Structure 1
């Protein structure tokens, strides 16, 4: 018998289709990234919440650069990180980036994106497709993508309980990438529960990495780029397996694959 109450498989499949719609509306952004990213020495910190279209722009770039970062979920009505954000910036506006490597704190999504490309990309400047020179950085497709997330809620799930519980002693780790619909569902749950985590981006590094879960556009046995980020994770973290999302909770010595199982675990442990 499972230790955690089972959520409806049908309900989870419906949510997965909604999450896939978000990916399709974004044209696959947040999918590909370099095998050998320029990783900052000190962890980037991002105050955000999953359904925010401006945060999504930043997360897509984080995947495009294959950068890891600490997510501090700050959903509407939340307090665990949202109060902290207001004390730091004077606002509860997200996204908000802290980069201790350059002693930088930034609020606007385009400023954050420009900063990331300036410091953590080989080209040193923002590509045209990730630049908005005038007006609202959240395009119509991005706002429509947010609607699908809003159907599943953008507020803190249990704000009083979340605040009373506080932050886990150690940050959880989530291996994912922005465009993965199954990873998105897990990030939404972490956001609703206001559970901070390290997002380990595992961007697809080449065309052959694309495909359905467990299936790739390659002949024979799948092998990631030798010495690349996926190769290291497959060897050092997942014991020869490569599947996302993958959760590590050092507080309970738990490791898990499968989005539905992870969500059930998070509800049971932090809900």
Structure 2
């Protein structure tokens, strides 16, 4: 780890993570308020700094889909070994959709599949088509360079493998473009800890903001009947803040990326 794990290091990582968001031009921010959620959970083998995985996660946010992330960073074994067996090689992203019986290895093919089955339009939006849809272009790869110090390879592969998978997957609420959610995802990738990624995309202009401040000056109201409305009422009452982690293995529920990262290091590091 090149950047130290202290207060200054956290601020530097936050700045780098924000640069990734800026380089991506806001992709992974907005999404539909009423997603077409598959009956069976989608499974995605990925790692955080992979530009091709990022393209898929951005579409997951656009469609506001939940999925099980199985982090498969370089040098890792917890999920990467089974990835090799299932896909024939250790390449990410790799999607398993038990709703359709599909197993897909190519990022553009995954994106086309997601739009075909889980979008109201039923076809891939021009913004997400390759090559104009940014099939790991220079800008996307530059965004990955910013994250190269984190989330690329397993930190302690032998210890991670000895620990194995948690009895139950963790639950992370957030959205792709959030710099602070990204820091938590990077840590989960380093530790090879599987989790359910609950996308809670911004659904309207009133959702836009940062550091606890939104563009609307009055009382905040999510779109009635939308996904954020459900999350606000049923998951984190009276407070809509991301990232939000739930670990059913230890009955832990917590906000704040810095605190979550410390918890993950202590519990799974």
Question: Do these two structures clear the TM 0.5 threshold for a shared fold by scoring above it?
Answer: yes
Question: Of the candidates 123, 129, 132, which is equivalent to residue 131 of structure 1?
Answer: 129
User: Corresponding residue for 1:213?
Assistant: 211
SS of residue in 2 equivalent to 1:72: strand
Query: For the aligned residues, what is the CA RMSD?
Result: 1.4
User: Corresponding residue for 1:98?
Assistant: 96
Q: Distance in 2 between matches of 1:98 and 1:140?
A: 28
SS of residue in 1 equivalent to 2:172: strand
User: Corresponding residue for 2:181?
Assistant: 183
Deviation at 1:227, TM superposition (A): 1.2
Q: Distance in 1 between matches of 2:132 and 2:152?
A: 27
* 2:150–2:187 Cα contact (<8 Å) kept: no
User: Corresponding residue for 2:68?
Assistant: 70
Question: Of the candidates 105, 108, 111, which is equivalent to residue 107 of structure 1?
Answer: 105
Deviation at 1:152, TM superposition (A): 2.8
User: Corresponding residue for 2:83?
Assistant: 85
1:134/1:11 CA distance change after superposition, 3 Å: closer
* 1:176–1:183 Cα contact (<8 Å) kept: yes
What is the TM-score of this pair, normalised by structure 1?
Answer: 0.96
Deviation at 1:7, TM superposition (A): 4.4
Q: Distance in 1 between matches of 2:134 and 2:23?
A: 17
User: Corresponding residue for 2:32?
Assistant: 34
Deviation at 1:219, TM superposition (A): 2.7
The answer to whether residue 146 in structure 2 is matched with residue 142 in structure 1 is no
Q: Mark the runs of 5 or more structure 2 residues left unpaired by the alignment.
A: none
* 1:7–1:264 Cα contact (<8 Å) kept: no
The answer to whether residue 21 in structure 2 is matched with residue 23 in structure 1 is yes
Q: Figure out how many residues of one structure are paired with residues of the other and give that number.
A: 266
Question: Of the candidates 45, 54, 57, which is equivalent to residue 56 of structure 1?
Answer: 54
Deviation at 1:213, TM superposition (A): 2.6
Deviation at 1:143, TM superposition (A): 0.1
Q: Name the stretch that deviates more: 208-217 or 197-206.
A: 208-217
Per-residue Cα deviation, 1:79-134 (whole angstroms, up to 9, x for no partner): 00000001111100000000000000000000000000000001111111100059
1:228/1:238 CA distance change after superposition, 3 Å: same
Q: Distance in 2 between matches of 1:246 and 1:84?
A: 28
Question: Equivalent residues in 2 for 1:233-248 (5 A)?
Answer: 233-248=231-246
User: Corresponding residue for 1:3?
Assistant: none
Q: Distance in 2 between matches of 1:154 and 1:161?
A: 17
Deviation at 1:244, TM superposition (A): 0.2
Q: Distance in 2 between matches of 1:205 and 1:135?
A: 22
Q: Distance in 1 between matches of 2:108 and 2:195?
A: 23
1:136/1:27 CA distance change after superposition, 3 Å: closer
What is the TM-score of this pair, normalised by structure 2?
Answer: 0.96
SS of residue in 2 equivalent to 1:150: coil
**Which runs of at least 4 in structure 1 moved beyond 3 Å after TM superposition?**
133-136
The answer to whether residue 119 in structure 2 is matched with residue 121 in structure 1 is yes
Deviation at 1:153, TM superposition (A): 5.1
* 2:49–2:150 Cα contact (<8 Å) kept: no
Q: Distance in 1 between matches of 2:251 and 2:132?
A: 47
Deviation at 1:135, TM superposition (A): 11
* 1:46–1:71 Cα contact (<8 Å) kept: yes
SS of residue in 1 equivalent to 2:10: helix
SS of residue in 2 equivalent to 1:22: helix
Deviation at 1:151, TM superposition (A): 2.6
